[in-house]
Each structure stands twice: as C-alpha cells, then as structure tokens.
C-alpha cells in the first residue's frame, strides 16, 4: 500500500494564482503496515489534505472516501506497456481504479509510471501514448477537468543543472519529452519532478555545502549565483526546480507548472552515510515545509507555488539497499513520529508532535493469547493500575480481552509519557488518534483522565524482540465472565518492583 497527495494547478500557464500545498507519499514496504483506516486517521490528525499513492490499492481508496483528501493514484511501471499499447486496456484501468471510487474518493491526478525514462527505458516509446490513452478514458467519462494526467521524472534527466539557466534535458529523450510537454500543456497538467537534494549533496564530493542542501541560512557571499541571470540561489531545491523550468524553456515550453512529487531526507544511514541523521532529516523537511507553504517560489518564478509531496509518511523497513533506503519516513509504522518537525509558526499541517492526541490500543485482529500475555504484563511488571478493569468498575465492560488489553496498553503508554517503543507489546498494539474512552470509562491521556508520568527512562513494554512476557498476573476471559488473581497480591508484587 502506499500513499501521496495532490492539489492540481488550474492555470495553463505558470502563475502565482494557487497556494502551494504539502503532501505525502505512502510506501508499501512496511513490515507491519497500519490498516487503511489507521493511515487515514493519521492523515487527518496531521491535517494532510493531499496524498500520493504508488498504486490504486482498493482498501486505502475506500478509506479515503468522503474525507476530502486529494489523492494522486499511480499506474505502476509493470502495467505501463499494456496501457501504452491499448486504448481499451487504459479504459479498463480507469473503470476499475478511478470510476469505481469517484466522486466519494477525491482523485485529482494520475501518475502514469514512475521515473520511466531512467528506470524503465524500454517503455519510453509508449509513455506518451499511455498518458494519452488514460486521458482519453477520462474525457469519455467526463473526468478530465477534475483529474490531471502526468508522469514522474527523476531530476537526473536534467543535464548541467547549474547554473540553472544552462540546464537542458538529456537530448536522447527529446523524442519523448517534446510530445510529453505538448500533452501536459494542452491538457493543463504539470511536470511531475522528484527532487532529492540529499543525493545531489552526497554525489557532489563535498562541492555542495551541507547547509545549501538543508535550506539553512547562508551569508550572501556563500549563495550560488547564476552568472547568466544574476539570480541568487540559497538552496539546492530551488536550483533543481529552476533548472527544470529552464530545460523546458530550452524546448520552447514556458507555461507548464512543476509539482515536486518526491522530496525528503533520510533520518538514518550506515557508516558510509554520515549525513543521513535525525537532525538533518528534521532540518531539511522542516525547512522544506516552511519554504513551500510560504509560497516563496523560486528565483526564476518568485511567488509561484511549488507544491511538494514529502517522501514519505512511514519508514519502509522492508526496502532493500543501504540503511538510508529504509528511513525516509516521518513516522514509524506504529504512528510514532521518527522526529518532531520544527514547525513553530508554520501552520498546522504536519505538526507531527502527536503526543497530546494519541492513544495505544490493541489490534482487533491480534492473537488473543498474545493480547492476554500483554495484558498480564502491563498489569504486572508494567506497574499499570488495572483496578478499573475489575467487575463493577467503570472499564469492566465490554468484558473481552481486546477491550481490557486496550485499557492496560494505553495506561502503560501514557504512564511512560508515550516514549517510542512503549506501544508495541510484541506487535499486538498500535497508536491511534481516536480516543478509546467510552461511557464512564475514561482512558488515561483523555481530557479529564489521569496524566501519565514517566516511571522509567527505559521502555519496559514487551517488544518484538522480547522472548517472554514475564507475566505476574493473569486475566482470563470466557463465557462473558471476568476472573482475576487477587488484586492485593498483584499490588504486593508490584510493590516489590517499585
């Protein structure tokens, strides 16, 4: 599953009429991918109104229905050849993956293939045909005004990108780029560009300063100057975007806007990736968000929106390659932020400090035995006050292991001040922004509930690496009855560990 977002530009020419937006991509290579409803809950909590998906996963598209979130869906590269050679195949794809979901799901763009010119060059001859066939199917369904069609490009198709005024597309792709830009221009669409200053920086052999890649302020004498235009560049991102604008103008296209479909910075790397750090990732993405939402534009087009999708929402721990490939996410799969963005005064979008609005709950489809073990642990070594779960107490009903485990898991999570790793319980718990309180059962962390206090700096919750639950108490469920070991004995055992 995957995700990303998009607000399309209505203007045919490059203009400042539209405010820029920040969206997110959602990858699928996550070992414990949250459910679609949990993904959407996180998007809502973060005020994210634009997402980009790398496919057309039915479950996530249904979860996005009636949310108002703008969605960019994608034609995967392995389907490109078939669609590019058959109008009927393209029409069937639109029927199955778009018409089946609109208008409930707000699909606003289709990315036909991903970085095709650089990753799948044998499909390049049919790329423009694929876009045209998809667009024709939208026209036939009267959806072409609502849904724009484009394809994403790696910035590596731009040669001699600095100074930007001298940039041009790799001329071997002119037979594709010229008709592609004609299509984008005639259909009122935009060029989708993936911009990664991280790679520009690490491949420059220290020619590009780290501060220049991270949007950090530079003294005037350190700014990069395009000697042809005398435009000053303070960051790599703007220079790459302007290089794309100049490359299009070299082919006589001056009115095709740009949307950056991927940009980000990894938060972790191996020993050879010394600049893939939490601090650098936080700095880059925080500065990028401010830069985009301020409608700063670029030196070539000041004030013109450069809407951007951050790569990516979740860390993808199943991805192959270097460590950095797994660590581009803003959040871990359990919904805990990898780092808290520095966005004071930059608005509410992606202010990803969720510590005041998150709860830890049991997964509904989890193994009951695992839930039982986690519950026993929380009410034992975890030092959670489970007395509200006793018969006659506010949180006794509903009397089942999921409900009781949810209370205990959340109480531990809040007690540990929502520290990373304290909502896991061997994979049967997950973070949510939905308050699980019900009736007179007020969960810790809720308005009116008890505020959690940090008991220990080290997480005690059993994680995926724990070999035993270390249960000191047992809560059994059967026939609708609740039985527990003597609570005084439990408290005495807990006292030993205090």
Q: Which runs of consecutive H residues, i.e. helices, occur in 257-326?
A: 278-293
Q: Could you tell me if 284 and 198 are in contact, meaning their C-beta atoms sit under 8 angstroms apart?
A: yes
Task: Report the candidate in 458, 114, 443, 368 with the shortest Cα–Cα distance to residue 261.
Answer: 114
Q: Could you tell me if 300 and 164 are in contact, meaning their C-beta atoms sit under 8 angstroms apart?
A: yes
Beta bridge partners of 438: 441
Q: What is the pLDDT of residues 329-388, one digit of tens each?
A: 999 888 888 887 876 544 456 656 554 567 888 887 789 999 999 999 999 988 999 999
Beta bridge partners of 24: 51, 310
The token pair that represents 267 in the structure block: 């938060």
The H-or-E segment that residue 73 falls in is strand 70-75
Beta bridge partners of 111: 74, 150
DSSP-derived 3-state class of residue 411: helix
- Judged against a pLDDT cut of 70, whether residue 323 lies above it is answered with yes
Q: Could you tell me if 331 and 423 are in contact, meaning their C-beta atoms sit under 8 angstroms apart?
A: no
- CA dist 351 and 448 (Å) reads 24
pTM of the model: 0.70
Task: Report the candidate in 378, 369, 371, 368 with the shortest Cα–Cα distance to residue 470.
Answer: 378
The DSSP output letter for 457 is: S
Q: Is 262 designated active site?
A: yes
State residue 305's pLDDT score. Answer: 80
SS3 content of the chain, % helix, strand, coil (to 5): 35, 15, 50
- Judged against a pLDDT cut of 80, whether residue 492 lies above it is answered with no
Q: Is 312 designated active site?
A: no
- Kindly state the greatest CA–CA separation across the chain: 82
Task: Give CA 334 to chain center in angstroms.
Answer: 13
Q: Which of 18, 262, 312, 457 is catalytic?
A: 262
Compare 88 and 218 and report the one with higher pLDDT: 88
- CA dist 21 and 209 (Å) reads 27
Q: Which runs of consecutive H residues, i.e. helices, occur in 26-163?
A: 36-45, 58-63, 80-84, 87-94, 116-119, 127-140
pLDDT band at 433 (very low <50, low <70, confident <90, very high): low
The DSSP output letter for 164 is: G
pLDDT band at 148 (very low <50, low <70, confident <90, very high): very high
Compare 31 and 284 and report the one with higher pLDDT: 284
Instruction: Please state the rounded mean pLDDT for residues 136-145.
Output: 96
- CA dist 2 and 313 (Å) reads 9
- CA dist 319 and 199 (Å) reads 18
Say if residue 32 is exposed, middle or buried (CB neighbours under 10 Å; 0-12, 13-18, 19+).
middle
- Please identify which residue in the block is written with the tokens 């997480």: 459
Q: What is the pLDDT of residues 47-89, one digit of tens each?
A: 899 999 999 999 999 999 999 999 999 999 999 999 999 999 9
- Judged against a pLDDT cut of 70, whether residue 97 lies above it is answered with yes
Q: What is the pLDDT of residues 241-255, one digit of tens each?
A: 999 999 999 999 999
Cis peptide bond upstream of 312, omega within 30:
yes
State residue 5's pLDDT score. Answer: 30
Cis peptide bond upstream of 103, omega within 30:
yes
DSSP string for residues in 369-380: HHHHHHHHHHTT
DSSP-derived 3-state class of residue 359: strand
Q: Which of 115, 273, 316, 325 is catalytic?
A: 115
Instruction: Please state the rounded mean pLDDT for residues 286-311.
Output: 91
- CA dist 63 and 61 (Å) reads 5
- CA dist 370 and 374 (Å) reads 6
DSSP-derived 3-state class of residue 170: coil
- CA dist 403 and 156 (Å) reads 52
DSSP-derived 3-state class of residue 3: strand
Q: Could you tell me if 405 and 371 are in contact, meaning their C-beta atoms sit under 8 angstroms apart?
A: yes
Q: What is the pLDDT of residues 442-473, one digit of tens each?
A: 998 775 443 333 332 233 445 443 333 333 34
């Amino acid at each position: 599953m995957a995700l990303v977002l998009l607000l399309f530009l209505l203007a045919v020419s490059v203009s400042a009429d539209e405010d820029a937006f920040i969206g997110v991509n959602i990858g699928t290579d996550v070992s414990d991918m949250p459910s679609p409803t949990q993904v959407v809950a996180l998007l809502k909590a973060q005020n994210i109104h634009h997402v980009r998906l790398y496919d057309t996963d039915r479950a996530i598209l249904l979860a996005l229905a009636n949310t108002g979130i703008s969605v960019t869906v994608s034609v995967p590269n392995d389907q490109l050849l078939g669609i590019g050679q058959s109008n009927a195949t393209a029409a069937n794809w639109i029927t199955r993956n778009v018409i089946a979901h609109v208008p409930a799901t707000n699909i606003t763009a289709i990315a036909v293939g991903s970085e095709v010119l650089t990753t799948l060059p044998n499909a390049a001859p049919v790329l423009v045909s694929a876009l045209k066939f998809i667009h024709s199917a939208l026209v036939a369904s009267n959806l072409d005004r609502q849904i724009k069609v484009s394809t994403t490009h790696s910035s590596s198709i731009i040669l001699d990108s600095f100074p930007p005024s001298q940039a041009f597309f790799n001329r071997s792709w002119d037979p594709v780029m010229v008709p592609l830009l004609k299509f984008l221009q005639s259909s009122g669409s935009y060029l989708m560009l993936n911009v990664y200053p991280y790679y520009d920086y690490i491949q420059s052999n220290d020619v590009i300063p780290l501060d220049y890649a991270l949007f950090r302020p530079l003294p005037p004498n350190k700014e990069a100057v395009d000697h042809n235009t005398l435009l000053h560049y303070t960051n790599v991102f703007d220079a790459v975007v302007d290089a794309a604008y100049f490359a299009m103008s070299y082919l006589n296209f001056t009115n095709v806007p740009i949307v950056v479909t991927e940009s980000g910075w990894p938060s972790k790397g191996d020993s050879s990736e010394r600049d893939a750090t939490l601090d650098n990732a936080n700095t880059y993405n925080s500065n990028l968000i401010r830069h985009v939402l301020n409608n700063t534009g670029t030196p070539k087009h000041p004030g013109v929106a450069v809407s951007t999708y951050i790569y990516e929402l979740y860390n993808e721990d199943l991805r192959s390659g270097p460590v950095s490939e797994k660590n581009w996410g803003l959040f871990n799969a359990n919904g805990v932020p990898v780092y808290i963005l520095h966005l004071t005064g930059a608005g509410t979008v992606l202010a990803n400090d969720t510590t005041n609005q998150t709860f830890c709950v049991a997964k509904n489809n989890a193994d009951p035995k695992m839930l039982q073990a986690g519950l026993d642990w929380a009410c034992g070594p975890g030092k959670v006050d489970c007395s509200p779960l006793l018969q006659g107490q506010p949180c006794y009903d509903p009397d089942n292991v999921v409900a009781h485990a949810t209370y205990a898991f959340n109480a531990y999570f809040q007690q540990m001040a929502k520290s990373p790793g304290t909502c896991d319980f061997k994979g049967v718990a997950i973070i949510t922004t939905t308050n699980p309180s019900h009736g007179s059962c007020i969960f810790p962390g809720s308005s009116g509930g008890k505020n959690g206090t940090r008991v220990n700096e080290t997480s005690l919750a059993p994680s995926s690496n724990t070999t035993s639950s270390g249960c000191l108490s047992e809560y059994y469920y059967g026939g609708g009855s609740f039985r527990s070991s003597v609570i005084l004995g439990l408290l005495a055992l807990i006292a030993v560990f205090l």
